[in-house]
Amino acid sequence: MKKTIIKGTGRYVPPRLVTNDDLSLWMDTTNEWILQRTGIEQRYWIPEAGGVGASDLGFEASKIAMGLAGWEPEDIDLIIFATLSPDLFFPGSGCLLAHKLGLTSTPALDIRQQCTGFLYGMTTADAYIRSSLAKRVLLVCAEVHSTGLDISTRGRDVTVIFGDGAAAVCLERMETDVQAGVLASCLHADGSLAESLMTLAPTSRENPRLDEKMLQEGKHFPTMDGRSIFKNAVRRLPEVAGEVLKKAGVPLAAVDLFIPHQANLRINQAFAKALDLPESKVYNNIQRYGNTTAASIPLALDEAIEKGLVGPDSTVMFLGLGAGVTWGAVLYRFAAKNSEE
Ligand code: UT7
């Protein structure tokens, strides 16, 4: 049977370190508030002058992942690029990344699933691979939030949580009858809650799409009903974890590590508590990166692999909830070390 396995991962964050104390110079906030409400200690942002897009961060992460996978750009059958902060309104960042990789005709698909971009991307890649439409898919998740955040006190509830960053995953077909690769995935969306986390402008609903008044009102900055998103996450994450385990026929105890989206440390602690999991089974790195949206799960995966927390034979669950709202989970089992291709 055809299975989708991870051949290589890579991460990249820009070098500008922004601490909570730095933020408190620009807006009415404190290190204590941010730490206590979110767990975040620092994040990385692109240079203040700009000039770096999601595809640039994604390119750096892709080179590392492809190096580990032993892939050349020509080996890629499909690029999937997940971001809510694309370089341009259009064309997609996947096209820009393909060009940076020196590719001239490889298909590139952008997906706009925000915090669940990795989950939707992984599921799409798995469908392409298992249906033989592709053998190798490069999944890139990258965000440049910092150029779109309100760093005045007006935006403090949103701005303090977001960080820039990227991660890439090389996904490849493996022929095997053992239980390995993507075991099951569950994806959901409820657009009735779209307004709980969104950026209103530029918008094709208005003519012009962005004007001086909208800029003054900060319509180009994200707004969030943090409490609503928080409550939804705390309800939906345990629910979708149970759903994906049932679909795969795998017991909870068989999961070695849960890698949730990094939106708020308290959400992930509530998730652990709901499923009665020791905190050591739930990976968190939001303390160091903030919320990097689409990039957060693969960025955490890359670190977990590097630390030896997951590897051959381990079972891992990726899950998250965010803007849309969208939520979902993917259950993945690493192939055994000596598995044949
Ligand atoms: O990945 C995308 C999905 N997003 C999420 O999952 C985010 C989920 N939500 C959250 O993480 C939390 O709701 C936040 C961290 C965004 C906010 O935490 P909270 O505990 O829900 O705070 P709150 O919004 O209820 O605000 C409490 C107080 C308010 O003041 P008053 O009205 O009680 O006087 C806010 O104005 O904290 C104030 N506040 C701040 N104070 C200092 C809001 N932001 C800040 C800030 N610094 N940065």
Q: CA-CA distance, 252 to 92, in Å (whole number)?
A: 38
Catalytic residues: 115, 261, 291
With CA atoms as reference, report the closest residue to 18 among 3, 34, 4, 7.
34
* pTM of the entire predicted model: 0.97
- Per-residue pLDDT tens over the stretch 37-55: 999 999 999 999 999 999 9
Query: How high is the mean pLDDT of the chain?
Result: 97
Q: Is 29 in the pocket of ligand 1 (CB under 6 A)?
A: yes
- Residue-level pLDDT at 341: 46
Confidence tier at 339 by pLDDT (50, 70, 90): low
Structure tokens at 3: 């299975």
CA of 307 from ligand 1 middle (Å) equals 32
- Per-residue pLDDT tens over the stretch 12-39: 999 999 999 999 999 999 999 999 999 9
- State residue 31 phi and psi, 5-degree precision: -60, -40
**Is a pLDDT exceeding 70 seen at residue 340?**
no
- Nearest CA residue ID for atom 21, ligand 1: 227
Task: Please list the residue range(s) of the chain that carry CATH number 3.40.47.10.
Answer: 2-175, 181-340
Q: Which option is the CATH number for 181-340: 3.40.50.720, 3.40.47.10, 3.30.870.10, 3.40.50.300?
A: 3.40.47.10
- Per-residue pLDDT tens over the stretch 298-322: 999 999 999 999 999 999 999 999 9
Structure tokens at 145: 């939030």
* 253 class by beta-carbon count within 10 Å (0-12 exposed, 13-18 middle, 19+ buried): exposed
Under CATH, what is the fold of the domain 2-175? Peroxisomal Thiolase; Chain A, domain 1 (3.40.47)
- Nearest CA residue ID for atom 16, ligand 1: 226
**Is a pLDDT exceeding 50 seen at residue 159?**
yes
- Residue-level pLDDT at 337: 81
- Per-residue pLDDT tens over the stretch 185-229: 999 999 999 999 999 999 999 999 999 999 999 999 999 999 999
